Structure 1
Amino acid sequence: MSWPELRKECLILEDEAVLALNKPAGISVTGERHDTDIVEMAAAQGETLYPVHRIDKVTSGLVLLAKELPAHGVLTRQFNKRTAQKAYLAVTASTGLPDRGVIDLPLSVGRKNRVRIAAPRESIRRAGDTWLVDEQDVLAGKNYPSVTEFATVARTDSHTVLALRPITGRRHQIRVHLAWIGHPIVGDPLFDRTGAFERTHLHSWRLTLDAPWRPNGLLELEAEPGADFWQPVAESVTADPRQLLSSASELMADTTPTAH
């Protein structure tokens, strides 16, 4: 897909300061080695864009890019201060997750730059609906406190649909957190070796940020998942995807982001 085609087909919002896209899975945002990315594609057509945040190449959904540096600074500071409100959707290749839960597991970077939990797998324990490790079990070296909250949107005999709120924003956070508690995301090349599905079923769904230049002072963005996202549960979940999104919205509205 060319940049003009991608820009037109995936556009969610554009104003004088920002561009928001509903990115397909399989396209990088920026900085991927040996790969063409959105920023590079735009630059080749004479358009300069500054990524406000990143989502993985394998993840679909909402991507926000700034068209000017002042707006970029205003927005990225909110990610750094963890005041940006983010929500994702995921389909896990598992069952048994509670209606709501918290994954409070520190991350570290291991061999070959792979993100992992900064503790032995066997030390992860579940206390109620929270997964955590005791402080004495955290491995020596640099680690990063990381928290993901989730709510269950739908269940089938073999899969679970989740709405997730990453309180921290670490690289691969949602993917690693779910995999290490035994609930990997369907199609994740890091953790799902079955090859049963063509894409990773993780979607950047919602983003809310302060935006002083907007009439109401806010950017409230939503990217609806495509039919390919729902494929693992399409035959088992009777609700229309829009009904599932409505349920996910209610579940997210019922929780207040935890301060960490």
Structure 2
Amino acid sequence: MDVDWAQVRRECVVFEDAAVVALNKPAGISVTGERHDSDIVEAAAAAGETLYPVHRIDKVTSGLVLLAKELGAHGQLTRQFNKQTAEKAYLAIVESTGLPDRGVIELPLSVGRKNRVRIAAPRESIRTAADRWFVDPADLLDTKNYPSITRFLTVHRDEDHTVLALRPITGRRHQIRVHLAWIGHPIVGDPLFDKSGRHERTHLHSWQLGLAAPWRTPPELALTATPGPDFWRPVRTEEHDAEAILDRADQLLRDR
């Protein structure tokens, strides 16, 4: 998909100052580096604006993406992601309704054939105890693996789907998508795990982001990107229902 940077700037900016710009990215647009595809960073450069991505979200994921306008701010912000001090919250709509009110997925990731991210253990070795999913170290595959932790809260259920608020403690590639699929609750419309073609998009949204910002007063960034109507389609919510779900998710995250 060709990216019209002027249109993205006009429609998607949720915050901007002299050092950074934050976008509410639509699903289907790459942030940077996708092969044979235009992306936000490339489109901005073509329009004369140099941006440095602080973090990445997948092309199929909508929501908050933060880009720095200057290298000094970029370094200060990326270090927080590397040290896992950035506060990230996502929303996801998943298949089926058997998840508990809260849980933690502690499943190491590895990279398999064709560069595909997977759990670094056989599926049948995944265990659950006290709303925690994990594998015994003895069951890990003989390959390099990366410790990965995702916490979640259930904020809405209907007959077929569940809406989750998630905090990825680590930030591995495809972490939320793989974790949820391997415990039996794939994200609706995720092309990694749903080949039905029934859904127009992947229902994963980068919702909130909190970081230290030393150049600001007070020295912090607290960003939110509200998901659009297309995100809510599987749960058939009205606008006021979506607002109530977001309010509940925000309160649960604050109380955690």
TM-score by length of 1: 0.96
Taking the aligned partners of 2:102 and 2:240, their CA distance within structure 1 comes to 20
Deviation at 1:193, TM superposition (A): 1.8
The sequence identity of aligned pairs, in percent, is 72
The residue number in structure 2 matching 1:7 is: 9
- Aligned residue for 2:72, secondary structure, equals helix
Distance in 2 (CA, whole Å) between partners of 1:53 and 1:238 is: 30
Q: Using the alignment, how far apart are the partners of 1:183 and 1:251 within structure 2?
A: 21
1:82 corresponds to which letter in structure 2? Q
Match of 2:245 in 1: 244
SS in 1 for 2:138: helix
Residues 122-170 of structure 1: CA deviation (Å, up to 9, x unaligned)? 0001112000000100111210000000000100110000000000000
Q: Which structure 2 residues correspond to residues 1-260 of structure 1 after superposition, within 5 A?
A: 2-234=4-236, 240-255=241-256
Shift of the 66–157 alpha-carbon distance from structure 1 to 2, 3 Å rule, reads same
Q: Which structure 1 segments of 5+ residues have no match?
A: 256-260
Distance 1:253 1:139 in 2: 37
Deviation at 1:192, TM superposition (A): 1.2
Q: Give structure 1 regions of 4+ aligned residues with deviation exceeding 2 angstroms.
A: none
RMSD: 1.1
Letter in 2 for 1:164: L
Q: 2: distance between equivalents of 1:239 and 1:226?
A: 13
Instruction: Compute the displacement of 1:194 (Å).
Output: 2.1
Distance apart, 1:238 and its partner CA: 9.2
- Helix, strand or coil at the partner of 1:56: coil
Deviation string 1:44-71 (CA, Å, 9 cap, x unpaired) is 0000000000000000000000000000
| Superimposed CA distance per residue, residues 204-226 of structure 1 (whole angstroms, 9 cap, x where no aligned partner) | 00000000011110010000000
Aligned length: 254
